[in-house]
Amino acid sequence: MKRIEALGVLADLTSSHPVIATCAATSRELASVKDSDNHLYLLDAMGLAGSVATGLALSVRPSAPKVVAIEGDGSLLMNPNVLPTGGYLAPPNLLLVLLDNGVYGSTGALPTYSPKVDLRRLADAAGWTTRAAQTADGLSAAFAELLTVEGPAFLYATIEEGNAPDIEKLLVDPVSLTGRFTRWLREVHAVVEAAT
Amino acid sequence: MTYAQAVADGIWAAGATRVGYIPSVTVAPVINALVAYDGGTNGVSPRVTPLSREEEAVGVMGAVTFTGGLGTVVMQDNGFGNALTALTTFTLSYHLPLLVFANTRGGLGEYNSMIHSISQPVPALLRAVGLPVIELDRTSGPGDWHDTVQEAGRHAVMTYRPVVVLGSFWNTDGKVA
């Protein structure tokens, strides 16, 4: 499974979820597949996707759709504190999808620790409910399963090395992302409030 | 009112909806006061939680603002080295209000022979990257500290950016280190 295939699957599955996407190739490829108001692209905040998603999960109404973070192995390893912090704070509505290709895909494909360090087991040890996927169908099935989990959930997806060709840089003002994402959240909250 | 209580009351008065902290002996009384007000014990309450590192604290607390709340970070100034990339590429760039209260180290009353190497340049470092910095010390009383922290939080909200308050507890009723 290539990253862009995985992102295509996730874009379809998360249309009602707040999505925090890690920087560089992941955000660019996600935006190329589907650019949506529920996507918050972290354009240069290295390693912060899981932390931002954790803060958001603690802040949205518990009945709102789960907050989904899309993270890479290199980025998670820049801020592995995400795992113990998520396990400790244990927001009921947090789902972190880790796309692991074993390299820093946006910075010359230099190797990460992940071929030797089992990131899923680290998440397990920190108290996350985990599932793994290697295919697009497996990704969908694991995602659906983890939506039913009450507590931090971790989807470990193995992807191929390499970035999709001819993807344009994401040249947007971060403030515009804040504005549209915040407006979208407000609408989701309004929907949730009206339904409860 | 103690200085620590003044800071804690100022944070709540600013409208903070969630507080994350990285511990230090100097801010421990502030954290205890925050937790007590929020109905918790042993450093944890519904809205006050420990975090493991300043960088992630900026991410976790900065995200609070997306839902209309105000996140606050309580820390020690030597942790700003860990937090600069997150503060600049996330909260500053995305125009996210965030209140940061940090005790200072490395000045008068300091015992540690190394910590000044990071703490002394912190105000200039923060200003160099465009962060508003307000400094408090023994020259004003707890009432002023309360009002300053409160207004700093309001300022963060009104100007859509992180605001840092640095407090030196030397020669107050607080503990330096």
For the stretch B72-94, pLDDT in tens is: 999 999 999 999 999 999 999 99
Nearest CA in chain B to A178: B94
CATH no. of A3-195 = 3.40.50.970
Closest listed residue to residue B172, CA positions, set B143, B149, B140, B144: B140
B167–chain A Cβ distance below 8 A for any pair: no
What is the β-pairing status of strands A110-111 and A103-104? antiparallel
Could you say which residues from 93 to 122 on chain A have a Cβ atom under 8 Å away from some Cβ of chain B? none
Q: Do B18 and A59 touch (CB under 8 A)?
A: yes
The single-letter code of the amino acid at A43 is: L
A89 — contact with chain B (CB < 8 Å)? Answer: yes
Of A18, A40, A81, the CB nearest to B56: A81
Contacts of A189 in chain B (CB under 8 A): 67
Mean pLDDT calculated for residue range A126-140: 98
Mean pLDDT on A62-85 = 95
Instruction: For residue B172, give how far its alpha carbon lies from the nearest alpha carbon of chain A (Å).
Output: 34
CA angle A28, A30, A32 (to 5 degrees): 70
Q: What is the average pLDDT score of chain B?
A: 97
Cα torsion at A181, A183, A189, A195 (round to 10°)?
A: -120
| Domain ranges, ordered by start, for chain A | 3-195
Secondary structure percentages of chain A, helix, strand, coil, to 5: 45, 15, 40
Please return the burial class of B60, using the count of CB atoms within 10 Å of its CB with bins 0-12, 13-18 and 19+.
buried
Q: What is the pLDDT of residue B138?
A: 97
Phi, psi of B51 (to 5 degrees): -130, 160
Provide the ipTM.
0.97
A174 in reach of chain B (CB within 8 A): yes
Domains and CATH numbers, chain B: 3-107+120-136+149-167 (3.40.50.970)
Rounded average pLDDT over B6-27 = 97
Which chain B residue shows the shortest CA-CA distance from A187? B67
A15 contacts chain B (CB < 8 A):
no
- Our CA-based measurement puts residue A80 at a distance from the nearest CA of chain B, in whole angstroms, of 10
Average pLDDT, integer, range A57-79: 94
Residue of A nearest to B49 (CA): A89
Chain A hits for B61, CB-CB cut-off 8 Å, are 55
**What size, in residues, is chain A?**
196
Helix, strand or coil, per DSSP, at residue B134: strand
Kindly indicate the confidence band of residue A62, based on its pLDDT and cuts at 50, 70 and 90: confident
pLDDT at A190 (0 to 100): 59
- Of chain A, the percentage scoring pLDDT greater than 90 comes to 87
Q: What is the mean pLDDT of residues A129-142?
A: 98
pTM of this structure: 0.96
* Average pLDDT of chain A, as a whole number: 94
Question: Of all residues in chain A, what percent carry a pLDDT higher than 70?
Answer: 96
Residue A195 has pLDDT above 50, yes or no: no
Query: Mean pLDDT over residues A28-40, rounded?
Result: 97
- Do the chains contact at B95 and A174, CB–CB below 8 Å? yes
How far is it, in rounded angstroms, from Cα A91 to Cα A154?
A: 12
Mean pLDDT value across residues A134-153? 97
Across the interface, whether the CB atoms of A60 and B67 are under 8 A apart is answered yes
Q: Sign of the CA dihedral A166, A159, A32, A97?
A: negative
CA–CA–CA angle A82, A85, A87 (5° rounding): 105
Look at residue B22 in the predicted model and tell me its pLDDT. Answer: 98
- pLDDT tens-place string over residues B42-75: 999 999 999 999 999 999 999 999 999 999 999 9
Q: Which two tokens stand for residue B47?
A: 């809205």
Do the Cβ atoms of B60 and A178 come within 8 Å? no
